[in-house]
Amino acid sequence: MEGLNIPLNHILLIASLLFVIGMLGLMIRRNIIFILMSLEVMLNSAALAFVAAGAHWGQPDGQIVFMLILSIAAAEVAVGLSLVLQVQRRFRSLDMDSLDWMRG
């Protein structure tokens, strides 16, 4: 039984749409949690593109890079959420505009 044969162009189109959605969320939103979620969407779109390219060319490199992206995303979530908790405790807000004076 063969798997689905989806053209690489279709998968790359979905990955690029996900990346654009994440980029728009990163630029438009001001809440730190939504910004972190947008970064996760962008990382997942890049991982999808790597896995699709690796499957298209029959190489395991895409899956290896996916595991690297997955570990980076886990570390980003751990550090990002700890920073979010500290900002919420100290400033009582998660709005990036209210934290603008922290530029130093």
Model confidence band, residue 3 (pLDDT cutoffs 50, 70, 90)? low
Q: pTM for the full model?
A: 0.81
Report the DSSP beta bridge partners of residue 5. Answer: none
Residue 78 within any structural domain of the chain: yes
**26 lies in a domain?**
no
Count up the domains in the chain and report the number: 1
SS3 95: strand
Measured distance CA(13)–CA(4) in Å, rounded: 17
Residue with tokens 């980076």: 72
In a domain, 73, yes or no: yes
Q: What is the domain-level CATH number for residue 59?
A: 1.10.287.3510
Q: Report yes or no on 61 lying in a domain.
A: yes
Report the helix count and the strand count for the chain, using DSSP H and E: 3, 0
Flag whether 66 is in a domain: yes
Print the domain residue range for 85.
Answer: 31-95
CA triple 95-99-102, angle to 5 deg: 165
pLDDT in tens, 61-102: 999 999 999 999 999 889 988 988 888 888 787 777 766 666
Residue 3 lies in a domain: no
